[in-house]
Amino acid sequence: MKVAIASDHAGFHLKQHLTAALQAWGVAFEDLGTFDEQSVDYPDYGRKVAEAVAAGQFDRGVLVCGTGLGMAITANKTPGIRAVTAHDVFSARMSRAHNDANVLTMGERVIGPGLAEEVLRVWLDTPFEGGRHQRRVDKIESAGALES
């Protein structure tokens, strides 16, 4: 598995913690920025990761900003991306098992580094269950997503 990770200035410290965890776990990753605390616009980094995942350059993406919300909104504008904000282990697990989420977003102002690391680990380790969930993911990806 290869992971793209990025943050804005508000998520920089948590991103640094998560990249250290990825390295310790032996997970291949590429840090797409930002590389310091200087103010930047989160959509630039959210789009960069989302487009790289959608293009197949990475299997998954991780985005960090102040809340995780702006990054999720941005990433979900890219076709083929299913980005979720998760600040607890259960949501992280279900986003993978039932929704096949391919981008995880978190907020440095919302979650501490220890829990963030646990959320990321569970999110990376949880496989998509497929089955009845595949039909629903297919609807998300298709023009008929809102049909019942």
- Nearest Cα neighbor of 108 from 8, 6, 9, 10 is 10
Is there a catalytic annotation at residue 13?
A: no
107, 11 Cβ separation under 8 angstroms: yes
Q: Rounding to the nearest 10 degrees, give the CA dihedral for residues 133, 92, 107, 81.
A: -30
Residues 6+ apart with CB under 8 A from 139: 145, 147
Q: Is 5 helix (H, G, I), strand (E, B) or coil?
A: strand
Decide if 87 is catalytic.
no
Cβ atoms of 60 and 3 closer than 8 Å: yes
Whether the ω angle into residue 34 lies within 30 degrees of 0, i.e. cis, is: yes
| Catalytic, out of 9, 13, 17, 65 | 65
Per the rule left: phi > 0, alpha: psi between -120 and 50, beta: everything else, 63 is beta
13, 87, 98, 133: which is the annotated catalytic residue? Answer: 98
Catalytic residue list? 65, 98
